Structure 1
Amino acid sequence: VFLPFPFSLKICFFVYFFPLPEYDVVCVGLSGAGKTSLLSCLCQEDCDSITPTTGFSIKAVPFQNAILNVKELGGADNIRKYWSRYYQGSQGVIFVLDSVSSEGDLEVARMELHSALQHPQLCTLPFLILANHQDKPVARSIQEIKKYLELEPLARGKRWILAGSSLHNIEAVKESFLQLIKLLEDTQPVPGRL
């Protein structure tokens, strides 16, 4: 008589014998964009006592089909000039921007994004660009941000996703991360056949 494993045991059995793939991803954006809050919520950590990242932190963000090891870099003026020192080994990029930021901050975010898209260690990697704080009444639309950031000409030929995000819709954020994982999977070499 065949007795199927309970669902939870199936998952444990599968993970034990077939470990989830892991991808190293760098997460950048200006201070206040919401990088730390989004990552903390994805890890089901307390989001009420978030403090800005003053250097870098690493979080293992688990999904059902992969684990993203996200290296989050602080976005303060005096830290951004050192971002490129932490790019090595990255397999993907998450760029978070504040959809309600001032014109000046949005321009700085645009320049930083362009710099990252053109950096030799990042230019061939998949990008997830999150337009955060979409729940705010004065948030710029995704189309406005796409046009302002001049993504079409700059990112032509690259693999990128632009999505809205908000702490109040973490399921949509998860979906954006799953799309990034799909891009990461597509870039991995196919194992040779024996």
Structure 2
Amino acid sequence: MDYLILSEYIQLSFAVCRIGIYVCFRALCCKGPPPPRPEYDLVCIGLTGSGKTSLLSQLCSERPENIVSTTGFSIKAVPFQNAILNIKELGGTDNIRKYWSRYYQGSQGVIFVLDSASSEDDLETARNELHSALQHPQLCTLPFLILANHQDKPAARSIQEIKKYFELEPLARGKHWILKPCSLDDMEAVKDSFSLLINLLEERDFEPSRM
């Protein structure tokens, strides 16, 4: 009788070992590829000198000496852990801004970069361009990430000053928008701002009207 009990115990032990080995094998060798990250098409606008190109190039880990200011438009695929952002950056000179709207079609979100240390005249122009974008038929329902760049400069205006000057509370009421300070000296904060934008984009994916 003891022999039978011992034999059954040995067989059970072998069975448990085989199951354990199979589970480990599946975990190590048969995991399969990770699910694809969602991709979003965004448009990035702002005046010349606001720092759009430098911020996007840093996010793509490009070398600083290879950064050239965008005169027409450029497209960058910026990878994040939970999404890939295909960002169409538009030049910010006077003769290009009037054509911005031609590149809005197909956008799922907007990045607006402003120089928080700019002159009063440039800040007024940036305000007018942001107001125009917020009210444009192809952009008005999209999530906006507004980056107050160059916060490392002594003349930089605070977020509260910019929010008040740009009249964001009354103008963007009911819209999905984020206003964040940033500079090239703190790219982690820039990445955090983009993560918030990705959250807004994901929320739109699950809205009933989009299903």
User: TM-score when scaled to structure 2?
Assistant: 0.84
Indicate how the Cα distance of structure 1 residues 5 and 103 shifts in structure 2: closer, same or farther if over 3 A, else same. Answer: farther
- 5+ long unaligned stretches in structure 1: none
- Seq. identity, %: 74
Residue 62 of structure 1 pairs with residue 79 of structure 2: yes
Aligned residue pairs, count = 185
Match of 1:79 in 2: 96
Residue 13 of structure 1 pairs with residue 14 of structure 2: no
1:144-185, CA deviations, whole angstroms, 9 ceiling, x for partnerless residues?
111110000000000000001111100000000000000000
Q: Which AA in structure 2 matches 1:161?
A: I
Match of 1:30 in 2: 47
List structure 1 runs of 4+ shifted beyond 3 angstroms: 3-6
- 1:189 CA drift (Å): 4.0
- 5+ long unaligned stretches in structure 2: 1-20
Match of 1:50 in 2: 67
The structure with the larger Rg is: 2
Match of 1:123 in 2: 140
Give the RMSD, CA atoms, in angstroms.
Answer: 1.7
Which structure has more relative contact order (CA 8 Å, sep 6+)? It is: 1
Residue 108 of structure 1 pairs with residue 128 of structure 2: no
Q: Kindly report which structure 2 residues correspond to 1:171-190, keeping only aligned pairs within 5 A, or say none.
A: 171-189=188-206
Q: Kindly report which structure 2 residues correspond to 1:155-166, keeping only aligned pairs within 5 A, or say none.
A: 155-166=172-183
Q: Distance in 2 between matches of 1:171 and 1:87?
A: 28
Q: Distance in 2 between matches of 1:56 and 1:132?
A: 20
Indicate how the Cα distance of structure 1 residues 173 and 5 shifts in structure 2: closer, same or farther if over 3 A, else same. Answer: farther
User: TM-score when scaled to structure 1?
Assistant: 0.91
Moved more, 137-146 or 89-98: 137-146
Comparing both structures, which one devotes a greater share of its residues to helix?
2
